[in-house]
Amino acid sequence: MKEQNTNGQTDNRPILEVHNLKKYFPVRSGFFQRITGHVKAVDGVTFSVPENDVLGIVGESGCGKTTLGRTILRLYDPSEGEILYRGGDGTITDIAQLPRHAIKPFRREMRMIFQDPFSSLNPRFPVKDIIAEPLIIQRECKGQELEDRVAALMRRVGLDPDYMRRYPHEFSGGQRQRIGLARTLCLNPRLIVGDDPVSALDVSIQAQVLNLIVELKEEFGLTLLFIAHDLSVVEHISDRIMVMYVGKCVEIAPTPEVLGNPLHPYTEALISAVPPADPDIRPQRILLQGDVPSPADPPSGCVFHPRCRYAKPVCSQETPELREVHPGHYAACHFADTLELNAIGSEE
């Protein structure tokens, strides 16, 4: 019933608004563990997600996308910024300001799918206990009802409920990720942060699990934050895509805009890495030189300038703001208006 309500009308008010979110990890050293610096894992990220939308978040390893997801769910305490969550009844809560004990009710509605299906399931728990754990923690139900709900969830994600007494090590990676999905869904969440949920799976299994996630999203009326390191994973399921680089959002726009009209050189490089569907097309790969800079000591000015092939002197001196270049298309580049960047599938 609840699903029908949320499904029935498309609501474009944002379920989640993040303003200038920062997460700095202190770097401690020495005998007395003094703070000697900060890793700026997430450094001033702003975005909003409308209800029932899918926002894809992409970036290289170490760009802060996992930290962003965990900070939104308050697995990490944010250093600064606002996380405004609109509940089912329309009340808006700043998750970032909540004291720890007050977060628990929101943990029903905001859930996470973990990246690694091997380490995210306790090896000492049988599947039933793993899936039922949120129900037990939130005191939702117990006994036979609990077992029935676990069985129903297992069926829904494509697992045989007869296996509920087995241990995770008896399952394959794809099956384990389905167990994780069942655990995520068991409290009827509204917002799910998927932290690269398919990256640890075989390519053949990836599509199955992705399709399942999309199906469940429709069925349960979910809003998804889908984190991935690979544009090709998010391009098919996302309504909008946010590109992150060294803790900052460098471009955010609807999916066709990002892919068809990228405005940031880093997005261009990511797009060029997507394998084309047509084997005859030989795309011009843009190989970025060097590594992602350390978030403990990010470069001056535009964080991307040391690896940018269009960099000009101003790039190392002034930090570009994320600005609306076209309606609904935001980019953080000094030359977003003038650069001619390659879109998806284009040959140079």
Partner 1 sequence: MSTTMTPTLITSEADIDLARNDRYESYFQLLWTRFSKSRPAAIGGLMILCLLVLALFSEFFAPTDPSEIVFRDSFIPPQRLQFVDAEGTFHLVPFTYNQVFTIDPVTSQTIWAKDTSQRYHLRLFVRSWEYKVLGIFPSRLHLFGVEEGGTLYLMGTGRFGRDLWGRACMAGRISLSLSIFAVLVSVSIGAIVGVISGYYRGRIDWAIQRLIEFLVSFPPLPLWMALAAVIPPQMDSLSIFMVMVVIFAMLGWTLTAREVRGKVLSYGETDFVLAAKEMGASDARIIFRHLFPNSLSHIIVVLTLTIPQIILAEAFLSFLGIGIQEPLVSWGFLMKNAQNLETLGSNLWILSPTIFIVFAVLGFNFLGDGLRDAADPYSIV
Q: Which of 34, 104, 309, 312 binds partner 1 (CB under 8 A)?
A: 104
Identify the sign of the CA torsion 191, 196, 202, 203: positive
One of 27, 35, 75, 92 touching partner 1 (CB under 8 A)? 75
**List 162, 278, 340, 348, residue binding partner 1 (CB under 8 A):** 162
Q: How many positions of this chain bind partner 1 (CB under 8 A)?
A: 32
112 is an interface residue for partner 1 by CB under 8 A:
yes
Residue number with CB closer to partner 1 (60 or 116): 116
Task: Based on the shown chain and the rule CB under 8 A, indicate whether residue 119 belongs to the binding site for partner 1.
Answer: yes
Q: Which two tokens stand for residue 92?
A: 């808006």
Compute the radius of gyration of the chain from its Cα atoms: 21
Q: Which two three-digit tokens encode residue 116?
A: 């690694």
Q: What's the residue count for the chain?
A: 348
CB of 66 to partner 1, least distance (A): 11
Minimal distance, residue 298 CB to partner 1, in Å:
25
- The only residue of 9, 12, 99, 124 in contact with partner 1, by rule CB under 8 A: 124
165 touches partner 1 by CB under 8 A: yes
CB of 305 to partner 1, least distance (A): 34
- Contact with partner 1 (CB under 8 A): which of 41, 49, 95, 121? 121
CB neighbours of 47 closer than 8 A, spacing ≥ 6? 17, 18, 55, 242, 249, 252
Q: Does 107 bind partner 1 (CB under 8 A)?
A: yes
Q: Of 49-57, 77-85, 112-120, 262-270, which segment contacts partner 1 by CB under 8 A?
A: 112-120
Least distance in Å: CB of 10 to partner 1? 28
Which of these segments, 53-61, 70-78, 302-310, 330-338, binds partner 1 (CB under 8 A)?
Answer: 70-78
Q: Tell me which of 166, 285, 309, 326 binds partner 1, using CB under 8 A.
A: 166
The packing angle between helices 173-185 and 127-137, to 10°, is 20
Stretch touching partner 1 by CB under 8 A, among 79-87, 116-124, 277-285, 322-330: 116-124
Distance CA 55, CA 243 (A): 10
Q: Which stretch binds partner 1 (CB under 8 A): 85-93, 165-173, 257-265, 313-321?
A: 165-173
Interaction between residue 40 and partner 1 (CB under 8 A):
no
- Residue 294 interacts with partner 1 (CB under 8 A)? no
Nearby residues of 291 by Cβ (< 8 Å), 6 or more positions away: none
Q: Which is nearer to partner 1, 166 or 309 (CB)?
A: 166
Number of CB atoms found within 10 A of residue 311's CB: 17
Cβ at position 57, least distance to partner 1 in Å:
18
Using the rule CB under 8 A, give the single segment among 40-48, 114-122, 259-267, 272-280 that binds partner 1.
Answer: 114-122
Closest approach of partner 1 to the CB of residue 307, in Å: 30
Using the rule CB under 8 A, is 177 a contact of partner 1?
no
Residues in contact with partner 1 by CB under 8 A are 33, 70, 73, 75, 103-104, 107-108, 111-112, 114-116, 119-124, 126, 133-134, 137-138, 162, 164-167, 169-170, 183
